[in-house]
Amino acid sequence: MNKSYITNIIAFLLVLIGYFYPQPILFSIGIFALSGAMTNLIAIHMLFEKVPFLYGSGVITLKFKEFKASIRSLILEQFFTKEKIETVLENQGDVDLKPVIEKVDLSPAFDKLVTVIEGSQFGPMLGMFGGKEALEPMRESFTEKMQGAIIDITEEEKFKQLLKDELFSHGGSDKIFSTIEKAVDGRLAELTPVMVKDIIQNMIRTHLGWLVVWGGVFGGLFGLVAALLD
């Protein structure tokens, strides 16, 4: 069960016990705890939902444009600044392309090789040995060796420097930043007030629940002090 509701239920039970048996201290603790917990619960509800006649309620949905701008600023100014992209490019001039190359399907390359052989002077000779089907067992070996050769090339310092120079000479960081910026703006343009509310609510709702708990605890303590001083 939600911790906010548990806190309010406990406070309400203290009020009932203190009232019906009469226990002034328990009643005071319960009343103060219930008021503190309920006040915070209502405040949290007002943060996300519009409540009629209560000015300022539903602030998340009312200010969703500002929140969208803040999300954009957070992404582009904190995580993907041009300076940080350039730093990554500089530090990662030796980008490891091996995982990418290993996933590339090189079968078309093998097929083209077979086509070239068939169209060359070796074509008739190949036909004597069963045609292109005779080369099929070589497909797997060709793929492995071709991948190995490409990986070796990309790991050479000369290649890494060429890749780095190419990225920067054509505004690599600017292109990357522009792409990220367009993607972020495109996604943010799709957000509605309700979606923004849900995003923020999912992020902080659990933590806000503790405001209700501590509101009940401190309210109860105040109630205890009030009862003892009465």
Q: List, for residues 104-144, the tens digit of each pLDDT value.
A: 777 787 787 777 767 765 666 656 656 677 677 777 877 78
Domain ranges of the chain: 3-229
Residue 222's H or E segment, with its range, is helix 193-229
| pLDDT, position 86 | 66
Q: In the structure, what pLDDT confidence band is assigned to residue 31 with cuts at 50, 70 and 90? A: very high
Select the highest-mean-pLDDT range: 14-18, 37-41, 173-177.
14-18
pLDDT tier, 157 (very low <50, low <70, confident <90, very high otherwise): confident
pLDDT at 222 over 80: yes
Write down the pLDDT at residue 169: 60
pLDDT computed for residue 171 by the predictor: 57
What value does the mean pLDDT of the chain take? Answer: 78
Cβ-Cβ contacts under 8 Å for 210 (sequence gap 6 or more): 3
pLDDT value, residue 123: 64
Q: Which two tokens stand for residue 26?
A: 């328990």
**pLDDT bracket for residue 13 (50, 70, 90):** very high
* pLDDT exceeds cutoff 80 at 100: no
pLDDT higher than threshold 80 for residue 19: yes
